[in-house]
A and B are shown apart, each in its own frame.
Chain A
Amino acid sequence: MEKAVRKYWPVFLLPTAAAFCVGFLYPFIQGLYLSFCSFITIDRAKFNGLENYKYALTDATFLHSFWFTALFTIVVTILINVGAFALALALTSKLKASNLFRTIFFMPNLIGGIVLGYIWQILLNGVLTLLEKPLLALDERYGFIGLLILMCWQQIGYMMIIYIAGLQSIPDDYIEAAKIDGATEGQILWKIKIPNVMPSITICMFLSLTNGFKLFDQNLALTGGEPAHASEMLALNIYNTFYGRSGPQWRGYGQAKAVLFCIMVIIISMIQLRATRSKEVQQ
């Protein structure tokens, strides 16, 4: 059978492979090369060695956006996972109308980042006006908190669904047996529920970690990086380096930043793969 299928590669393999080369492979390799060049259009790229990387690693806005992103990612990961797990616990406790609640909490996840960003910009600016505080785009701290609220609103429902699936897969016998043995609810939670949903916890932790780290649309729509690049996260910083300025050097700098960004994301994902695999062995 393998032989018969092998002959049909132009039908099965070629369309996707060709599109993949156009839509990913070629731009990726070209991007890698261009990070060592100075260019405005690709046809007229001039090789300039590690110049771009030197600039990227000393650029104050890039370093600031790195710390901003790192802090944001850590805080948002904790908030989302604690919130989502608490909701999942509440909704699996045989409550009235829990399906309705689940429907509502999950809903924001389907709305796109740009639209979400503007909805929350309008809402939060309204709240800030009522409190007689500066608007989102004028104060870095409010921009940070605003992004946190927005991301929690969007992602908690998603992670909650994954936690609910994890909690529901715990056999009822375990919990029944613990109850008969006189375990308190706290003990059931810490000794039975949490260890049994460890795979879900790993998945959710890393999903929110990568989502937070790669955040772009919401950042662009909610604060646009204002004031003066202070609320700019890595992805937006790269974008602004590319398209926000003119001059042959900026595109090269942007591409070098993008490569560094890509390496950071790959490292996070490698750790994720390790963590998920080691958890699978335990199960």
Chain B
Amino acid sequence: MEKRKSIKSKILFVVLLVISLAWIYPIFMIFINALKEDRSITTSTVFQLPTSETFAGLSNFVDALTSKGFAQAFGYSLLITVTSVALILICCSMCAWYITRVNSIISKILYFLFVFSMVVPFQMLMFTLASTADKLGLNTPFNICIIYLGFGAGLAVFMFCGFMKSIPLEIEEAAMIDGCNPIQTFFLIVLPILKPTLISVGILETMWLWNDYLLPYLVLDRKKYMTIPILVQYFQGSYGKVEMGPMMACILMTVLPIIIVYLVCQKYIIKGVIAGAVKG
């Protein structure tokens, strides 16, 4: 009985090993092609390892970073993600606290609208949102975070509200009696208790923002500012021959930071995903 079980688990182990190798193969394929010369990457040779003839060293990476504008795109993506996530976390947690603590019609209507906004697909308002952003001058990487605060508020407020309801009121009341005003109460008492939820919401919003393509593509001034997804799309969509070498380098440089961050904060990311799924 025991023996049969151990054989079974060995087979299972091998099967999982094979699947997981297949799972990382696409990334590996990008890696080997990023090291190859541009002209030796075709649909019939993508699976070949680089040889001494086709090996291109780091030239694809240098090309991608300098003339293809990857460095700028990376910078803009980082700027947009960091400012938007910070703004969403602060503003939405404050808003959620107000909504849960003040029992008025406005709170109820707002909460309903926030939940509703989570459901609406982006295509519904892509055209009008882009023109609104244009009119208000919110079309640069420096202030697009306001658009993101508005469009991303739904999920954040919803998750914060879900957690806020479980914080005992007594702690806040005690702080108020001791002379804190609501702003002090929020930042000194409520925010520290919220920390785990802040991390979860932060991770979910970061995953969305870093990879978002259509919103920045439509809202930003395309000639001046590109984020990473826009740049990768631009490689394929531009006229003439697709430069496969630098494109592979770009993809690899996009994927690698994500994998590194993931390996470092895996615990938080998985927790955040579970929290988001159960609430969402």
Contacts and interface: CB of A to CB of B under 8 A. Distances in A.
Nearest to A43: B131
B129 interface: yes
Interface string B14-53: 0110011001101101100100000000011011000000
Given A6-B102, A31-B124, A118-B232, A126 B46 contact: yes
A214 B121 contact: yes
Interface string B228-272: 110011011000000010011001001100110011001001100
A119 B251 contact: yes
A118 B247 contact: yes
A9 B277 CA distance: 30
B274 A161 contact: yes
Which of B26, B91, B124: most chain A CB closer than 10 A?
Answer: B124
Nearest to B88: A16
A239 B123 contact: yes
A261 B121 contact: yes
Contacts of A2: 101-103
Nearest to B230: A114
Interface residues of A, number: 89
Given A110-B207, A235-B123, A23 B129 contact: yes
User: Which range holds the interface residue count of chain B?
Assistant: 35 or more
A1 B173 contact: yes
A123 B27 CA distance: 10
A112 B213 contact: yes
Contact of A112 (B124, B148, B229): B229
A161 B278 CA distance: 12
Consensus secondary structure, chain B interface:
helix
A23 B263 contact: no
Contacts of A221: 232-233, 236
Given A30-B128, A129-B44, A254-B127, A24 B151 contact: yes
B110 A129 contact: no
B182 A4 contact: yes
Interface stretch (A48-56, A88-96, A140-148): A88-96
B210 interface: yes
B126 interface: yes
A15 B91 contact: yes
Given A90-B12, A114-B232, A261 B124 contact: yes
Nearest to A120: B26
Contacts of A72: none
A10 B194 CA distance: 22
A191 B126 CA distance: 47
Contact of B44 (A22, A106, A110, A130): A130
A261 B91 contact: no
Given A24-B151, A110-B207, 17 more contacts: A5-B182, A8-B98, A95-B9, A109-B273, A110-B259, A112-B211, A114-B213, A129-B44, A161-B270, A217-B214, A221-B236, A239-B123, A254-B127, A258-B121, A258-B123, A258-B126, A262-B124
Interface of A: 1-2, 4-9, 11-13, 15-17, 19-28, 30-31, 34, 41-42, 87, 90-91, 93, 95-97, 100-101, 103-115, 118-120, 122-123, 125-126, 128-130, 135, 153, 158, 161-162, 165, 203-204, 207, 214, 216-217, 220-221, 235, 238-239, 242, 251, 254-255, 258-259, 261-262, 265-266, 269
15 contacts: A2-B101, A9-B102, A11-B183, A19-B153, A27-B125, A95-B12, A101-B16, A112-B210, A115-B211, A115-B254, A161-B273, A214-B121, A235-B121, A262-B123, A265-B119
Nearest 10 pairs between A and B by C-beta?
A23-B150, A112-B211, A27-B128, A19-B150, A16-B95, A12-B98, A27-B125, A126-B46, A19-B149, A27-B129
